[in-house]
Structure 1
Amino acid sequence: MSTNPAEAYAEKLKRECEANPITINYLDEDVIAKLPEGIKILRVVPSGASAWCKTFRIDAKLENGDLQSYFMKYEAGESGQHNVPKPTGFGEFKDEPGTWFYVCEFHDMLNQVPEVYELVAIVAKVHRASMGNSPTGKFGFDTTTHLANIPNDNAWQDTWEAFFMKLMKSIYEHETLTQGEDKELDSLLDALCKNVIPRLLRPLESGGRSIKP
């Protein structure tokens, strides 16, 4: 097993997909319309692993009887439009006949976890840039943001502690809704809310100290 966190996570997703495969019994007509005319779909099976999209291999028979497989990935929601590099074109080199190319939009993908100080520096920069700009004088946002594919509850709160606490609880509620209840997780949430968050954040807004939303 890989010691690289990103690779280990990808391996974990692959094992989960193999243990609980997602099956598709039909293809949307707009997907079929993008395939060669007269094609017959034989089966659609999971292929690869993705943290955000569903990925599949489409096995099909062409009109002339040849077998052909295609790769498909899909995602629901507005972000789905941006999760796949848009194909630009393919063809044969004019100057080198027999050499073929495929061109699409480039998305820079790094299979590594950044250094802690790099991530913290970015987070600190974002916080400093937004300080004192709250339109309500409270902590929060008037729009929903996302932690990956999980919506954040950004309702306005009077203190940073209260906002952070509500955010953690909303993530817990999402986890419970999708994965079911867990007594150990319940206990951890209780300790987080009663002990960890107050000790971590309350000193920022007590003893004469304050932070600007």
Structure 2
Amino acid sequence: MESLKPNADKTVWDREPSVPSRLIEYVDQGVRAKLPPGTQVRGIAPSGNSYWARTAKIDAVDAAGNPTPFFLKVHQFEHGRDMVETEFESMRLMHDVMPEFVMRPLAWGAFTEGPDAFFLLVPFYDLCRKSIKPPEYVALMAEFHRRGAVPGGKFGLPFHTYAGRIRQDFPMRATWEQCFLDGMVPLFDAEEEAQGADEELTRLRQSFLTNVVPRLLRPLETEGCRLVPTLCHGDLWYGNAAVDTKTGRTMIFDAAPMYAPAEYDLGPWFAHRELLGYDYVAEYVKHVPRLEPADEFEDRLNLYWV
């Protein structure tokens, strides 16, 4: 839920998001309407950090007077509306697979008083990253992938998601190679639109799509090899997992999910920039064997975190 500040450059994290802070100085009627019946709001205060949104903790009690705090994430404008709706659908999909590992989304909607403001509402968890136990976390990810497997299913996702503010479209396809290719093309297009045409990027794009991707992914589904699509988180960097200090449960959030080979989720752990490093990959393959061809496993992980 982007509720924790990872170890990042302060010049990035200390920058104010464009969403006005006044939107989390009160609990809008649109938000109140989505709270469980009988909820009494006691207050609201900023909580956590986000690159793109305003985040807050709503202090509340239920009809019996028991504390039931909520976490609120607020975006603006049509792009923000799309982001909260797709995050809600992503969380719901993942929660249905493994509810003890993924927080349950409560609602999303529009402010009634705010200017083009939209929100996501979930239960509030006091999260801590320092408490993550690598073997337990990795075992939970392996179990999540096991439960999310769809033998005979397709790869991709029937709706788009977001990685940060970048829209991702990985359409449902019969093969992983075609799904990955069709998902990467709009990302290249978006980069070119944002930065302008570039000769070197054009050459790299051509080589990446016509040589690299087929070379690494096609062998997974030829010569007797079969892939089972499984629901993947899609963005397992250090900042998207933490431990609930109240229950001790490890939880994942802020996903960009799709049905893919389970190894797709390991890409961020393989990246040298991540605090969750290759040790996590080594732990994972104790639970789930490397796909064949196994000698190209690390090459594929390099592909996934590019």
TM-score scaled by structure 2? 0.36
Higher RCO (C-alpha under 8 Å, 6+ residues apart): 2
Of structures 1 and 2, the larger Rg is shown by: 1
